[in-house]
Amino acid sequence: MTGSAHRTSRRSTACLACACAFGLAALAPALRAQRTVKPVLHGRHWVAITGKPLAATAGATTFARGGNAVDAACAMLAATSTMWDTLGWGGETQALIYDPRAGKVIGVNALGVAPTGATVDFFREQGYLYPPEFGPLAAVTPGTPGGLMVMLAEYGRLSLAQVLEPAMQMAEGYPIEASQADNMERRREMLAQWPYSRAVFLPHLKADGSQERSAPYPGEIFRQPDLLATLEKLVAAEAEALAAGASRKEAIQAAYDRFYRGDIAEELVRSTREQGGLFTMADLDAWQVRLEEPVKTDYKGVEVYKLTHWVQGPVMLQALNILENVEDLAGLGYNSARYIHTLYQAMNLAFADRDFYYGDPYVPPAEPIAGLLSKEYARQRFLEIDWERNDSDVKPGDPYPFQGGTHPFPELLEGWTNVPPAADAEGEAGFQQSFLATADEAFRAGTTSIQAADAEGWVVSVTPSGGWIPAVIAGRTGVGLSQRMQSFVLDERLNPYNVLEPGKRPRATLTPGLALANGEPYLSFAVQGGDSQDQNLLQFFLDVFEFGMNVQEAVEAANVNSYQMQSSFGAHTAEPGRLLVRDDVPPWVLQQLRGMGYRVETRSRTSGPITAIYFDREHGTMWGGASDFGEDYGIAW
């Protein structure tokens, strides 16, 4: 279907019709002519999309055996974790679920917390400016197993055994793809220092180092017997509970308890502490999955939902609120210099607020999210934009007056800068060890994405992450630990709401999205890519809503990236004025941007792989899209 026909199918959104009439006359022929590398997925009954073809097959298999979209999403989550698709089983899971029974969106918070002993003083004494990027001290408590089991128990219909079956088959052995096998080989030196990781990831490693390759070969059967045993223990706990008369939900809870309070937890704690980590049994026992009210904004009649400020999701809502003040956004022209400048400035205002205000909502001080998402606050921020040049000195605003409060940290706000403090000691431990080749890799690190929807109306959008290679494997559990501790700060001058303390969640980058039109699902979308995620998703949403692209056109479309915000990884660097655009942006646009004060760079890729589903209400079908690079893959029926 062409972009023009796709717009026709969404006439219920009146403002989009106006944008088509006034802003796209010259652009429409180009959009109609646009071709995509991958075809759009069309489904009537269900759609399953994720970061690996085999994992998408796990979702399709789960649908075929009678599961709903939540069951399928959980099966894909288990499979991608088993395949180490930029995450492992000890990472974190963030999800938005549309429940058609209640007609509402639910947030799933399965992000781990800092363990006992993880304090500012502890890391300062070891010479760190930030918690480390990798290793046992980078780990927050595992979140993905709990997130999967809670989602399944509350909103799925299949058993844990049925949902884990594809992942268990893969743990027994699957033909590993070249990209992951080669990733293990590249990280060989680091993986070799942790005994349990070495045994799993480097099966060909010899003591004398004489081997040509240590990691599995592409296509080799990759086996994880310890992880398989852990998954079998979860299934056994469920089966035993069912045999004793427990309900389906109670039986899944029994598996949950075995992971976080039983013999699996004991081995997690023992082996993590053996390797220098801090976990205690009390840490795992006290941690819990939170089912939350997500935050939302109304953008020209469409409700856009994000998880709240324990992740960066609200920055997209803040940016939409700011951009809503532009009289004719589409009329600026798709990826024109004026359009890119407008996006960049709106994003920078929102990200400056993220860098100072976002943190764990369950640990004081309370973040001013109501003020941050106020339309009046967005109008004030919009009026701060310099329309002629990039503002390299954008600072956080003061949202407190917009929620009837007074700022608790006025001196910190006044003195804030987006340039993090430099190392004040030679040989700073926090910066001497990095598995990331460049700051850009840190900026885009981590994550896969999962999209699932079915004919009953269930929709699931997930961005799980953490425990990516090089991961520390926790003993005989086969579980790779998270590296999310690095997203904390140790200096309140950077962000008084995100200072490390035990039992607290770090503010993460992970950010699924859902949008409703007329109270029904309109778009489900997510992307991998660290700090670039909400930048890419903002542009994806505008490509569909303002420029009439279908989902496949939008996931393949050119993006731009700002580096002006603080990175959430490594040294937390910021690069004001740096602008990345795709290499097919015309040279006259690049020249105009340089004239506006930008340091412009071009690349063939300017976003992580985006996955999305569009709900075609006119025809009662679903359209799926997955980016044309990477291994993201979808199946629909």
User: What DSSP string runs through 29-62?
Assistant: HHHHH---SSPPEEESSEEEEESSHHHHHHHHHH
Separation between Cα atoms, residue 541 and residue 537, nearest integer Å: 6
Separation between Cα atoms, residue 131 and residue 135, nearest integer Å: 10
Q: Which range (109-123, 384-398, 422-436, 535-549) has the least confidence?
A: 422-436
* 2 burial type by CB count under 10 A (0-12 exposed, 13-18 middle, 19+ buried): middle
Separation between Cα atoms, residue 265 and residue 285, nearest integer Å: 9
**What pLDDT, on a 0 to 100 scale, did the predictor assign at position 421?**
65
**What pLDDT, on a 0 to 100 scale, did the predictor assign at position 44?**
98
Contacts of 432 (CB under 8 A, 6+ apart): none
Separation between Cα atoms, residue 472 and residue 479, nearest integer Å: 8
**What pLDDT, on a 0 to 100 scale, did the predictor assign at position 85?**
85
**What pLDDT, on a 0 to 100 scale, did the predictor assign at position 419?**
76
**What pLDDT, on a 0 to 100 scale, did the predictor assign at position 432?**
36
**What pLDDT, on a 0 to 100 scale, did the predictor assign at position 630?**
81
The average pLDDT across 9-19 equals 36
Provide the mean pLDDT of the chain.
Answer: 91
Provide the Cα torsion 588, 590, 593, 599; round to 10°. Answer: -150
- Assign 318 a pLDDT band (cuts: 50, 70, 90): very high
Residue predicted with more confidence, 287 or 425: 287
Contacts of 264 (CB under 8 A, 6+ apart): 230, 233, 234, 258, 477
**Closest by Cα among 497, 511, 450, 485 to 572:** 485
- Assign 441 a pLDDT band (cuts: 50, 70, 90): low
Amino acid code (one letter) for 423: A
Say what percent of the chain tops pLDDT 70.
Answer: 90
* 236 burial type by CB count under 10 A (0-12 exposed, 13-18 middle, 19+ buried): middle
Output b/e per residue, 142-166; b: 16+ Cβ within 10 A. bbbbbbbbbbbbbbbebbbbbbbbb
Separation between Cα atoms, residue 90 and residue 145, nearest integer Å: 7
**Closest by Cα among 392, 308, 307, 309 to 349:** 392
- Assign 10 a pLDDT band (cuts: 50, 70, 90): very low
Report strand pairing: 221-222 vs 174-175. Answer: antiparallel
- Assign 1 a pLDDT band (cuts: 50, 70, 90): very low
Separation between Cα atoms, residue 183 and residue 195, nearest integer Å: 18
Residue predicted with more confidence, 23 or 72: 72
Separation between Cα atoms, residue 333 and residue 319, nearest integer Å: 18
Does the pLDDT value for residue 330 go beyond 50? yes
The average pLDDT across 214-220 equals 96
**What pLDDT, on a 0 to 100 scale, did the predictor assign at position 117?**
97
**What pLDDT, on a 0 to 100 scale, did the predictor assign at position 212?**
86
- Assign 619 a pLDDT band (cuts: 50, 70, 90): very high
Does the pLDDT value for residue 631 go beyond 90? no
Q: Which range (107-116, 210-219, 257-266, 512-521) has the least confidence?
A: 210-219
- Assign 359 a pLDDT band (cuts: 50, 70, 90): very high
**What pLDDT, on a 0 to 100 scale, did the predictor assign at position 418?**
81
Does the pLDDT value for residue 234 go beyond 70? yes
The torsion angles phi and psi of 375, rounded to 5 degrees, stand at -65, -35
Q: Which range (15-19, 201-205, 275-279) has the least confidence?
A: 15-19
Sign (positive or negative) of CA dihedral 498, 499, 505, 506: positive
Question: Are 499 and 120 within 8 A, CB to CB?
Answer: yes
499 by DSSP, 3-state: which? strand
Question: Among all chains, which residue has been given the structure tokens 């309370």?
Answer: 366
Separation between Cα atoms, residue 443 and residue 440, nearest integer Å: 5
* pLDDT tens digit sequence for 601-613: 999 988 889 999 9
Q: Is the peptide bond before 470 cis (omega within 30 degrees of 0)?
A: yes
Does the pLDDT value for residue 408 go beyond 90? yes
Question: Are 153 and 294 within 8 A, CB to CB?
Answer: no
Does the pLDDT value for residue 458 go beyond 50? yes
Separation between Cα atoms, residue 129 and residue 429, nearest integer Å: 8
Provide the Cα torsion 178, 179, 182, 183; round to 10°. Answer: -150
* 595 burial type by CB count under 10 A (0-12 exposed, 13-18 middle, 19+ buried): exposed
**Strand order from edge to edge, sheet including 560-562:** 560-562, 578-582, 599-603
- Assign 9 a pLDDT band (cuts: 50, 70, 90): very low
* pLDDT tens digit sequence for 37-50: 999 999 999 999 99
Separation between Cα atoms, residue 222 and residue 211, nearest integer Å: 18
HSE-up of 413 (CA within 13 Å, CB side)? 13
Tokens of 416: 């804030």
Directed axis angle between helix 144-155 and helix 69-82, to 10°?
A: 160
**What pLDDT, on a 0 to 100 scale, did the predictor assign at position 118?**
98
**What pLDDT, on a 0 to 100 scale, did the predictor assign at position 6?**
40
Tokens of 332: 């600026």
Amino acid code (one letter) for 339: Y
Tokens of 454: 């079915």
Separation between Cα atoms, residue 622 and residue 41, nearest integer Å: 8
**What pLDDT, on a 0 to 100 scale, did the predictor assign at position 323?**
98
Separation between Cα atoms, residue 97 and residue 70, nearest integer Å: 8
Tokens of 547: 């420029």
The average pLDDT across 472-482 equals 98
CB atoms within 10 A of CB 4: 14
The torsion angles phi and psi of 92, rounded to 5 degrees, stand at -130, 150
pTM score, whole prediction? 0.92
- Assign 422 a pLDDT band (cuts: 50, 70, 90): low
Question: Among all chains, which residue has been given the structure tokens 């778009």?
Answer: 523
Separation between Cα atoms, residue 129 and residue 116, nearest integer Å: 19
Amino acid code (one letter) for 451: Q
HSE-up of 115 (CA within 13 Å, CB side)? 26
